[in-house]
Amino acid sequence: MNILAIESSCDETAVALYAGDAATGCGRILAEQIASQIETHARFGGVVPEVASREHLAALPPMVDAVMQEADLGWNHIDAIAVTSGPGLMGALLVGTSFARAAACVHGIPVLPVHHMEGHLLAPGLAGQLPAFPFITLLVSGGHTMLVRVDAIGSYSLIGQTLDDAAGECFDKSARLLGLPYPGGPEVARLARDGDASRFPLPRPMLNKDNLDFSFSGLKTAVMYAVRKLGGSEALSDQDRRDMAAAIEEAICDVLVSKALRACRQQRAPRLVIAGGVAANSHLRGLLASRGKGVELFLPELRHCTDNAAMIAYAAFARYGAGAPAPAEWDARPRWPLHELTPPHTLISN
């Protein structure tokens, strides 16, 4: 089946065409495009929802045309439209879902609403590397930091989550304290490569708590006091910023890796997926490789760690291609708990 997928939950407009064979559970990306809004939002220091919606509205139609032209397919070759229907920014979601509904009505094809987090959870499947069930997923994307036990497509148990700031938020807020531009995560990672993490002994919140939850607000506060001690962001030298960035990255990644590996042990699930934007962090990947002995690690390709439409297409293929009916009634949902998803009637396995 040929699936046209649309992702517009936050500040990336993404479109992809995916061809999947339900009989084998395999497929391939025919074409994909991602338009980032980073430069647009950078001057505001963060995502402005109304601006994001307008950017999606302008970018989406020509991107759909371009992807279909690249794949050399017409609307008569499209079997379904998959679209992110939540969670995310309401206005941004409505741009994608409204386009999908209109195109489906005109061309007489079904719309398959997809949960954004399920897309991230299953992203390794795009490269044919979805692990055998059960497995643990550390999902670190935007305002989400969670540990999920995956027993089947659509069967997800939340076993740990952040109690305050997510890891991505901690990266961004700490970067702002250092006087770095938005988005902060990539800037911190870039500077950390030449920094000395041992110079600033930052805390590892909840690392020694016997649970799988996270907390990063205390780490952000420690960064604030450390910067103040040096005279504020304006007084920081380039080396100060590099060393502080290295300490921030080390602290966040240490907590993420420790909790993820603990989850694998406690749940007796020796397979671990890392998904979401922070999964692209090279230090996080290196720590997992060095400390994850006895745990089989599965990572999406770098281009599929951040928000993209290919993962939405694959999630739709895995769920609806396995027998789940397209819902008759649905709508955009800015808040959509992952546990509300249910398994399809039959499951696709890689």
Q: Which of 234, 297, 334, 271 has the alpha carbon at shortest distance from 8?
A: 334
Q: Is 141 annotated as a binding residue?
A: yes
Contact 99, 60 (CB under 8 A): yes
Q: Is 116 annotated as a binding residue?
A: yes
Residues linked to residue 150 through DSSP beta bridges, in sequence order: 135, 156
Q: Is 210 annotated as a binding residue?
A: no
80's tokens: 């379904």
Q: Is 281 annotated as a binding residue?
A: yes
128's tokens: 């044919």
Q: Is 115 annotated as a binding residue?
A: no
Q: Is 233 annotated as a binding residue?
A: no
Q: Please tell me the total number of residues recorded for the chain in this structure.
A: 350
Q: Is 139 annotated as a binding residue?
A: yes
Question: CA 218, CA 196: separation in Å to the nearest integer?
Answer: 21
Q: Is 143 annotated as a binding residue?
A: yes
Q: Which of 215, 86, 212 has the alpha carbon at shortest distance from 157?
A: 212
- Report the relative pairing of strands 144-152 and 296-298 from DSSP bridges: unpaired
- Report the relative pairing of strands 144-152 and 155-161 from DSSP bridges: antiparallel
Question: CA 250, CA 242: separation in Å to the nearest integer?
Answer: 12
209's tokens: 């708590």
Q: Is 172 annotated as a binding residue?
A: yes
Phi, psi of 146 (to 5 degrees): -150, 155
Binding site residue list: 116, 120, 139-143, 172, 185, 281, 307
Binding site residue list for Fe cation: 116, 120, 307
Binding site residue list for substrate: 139-143, 172, 185, 281
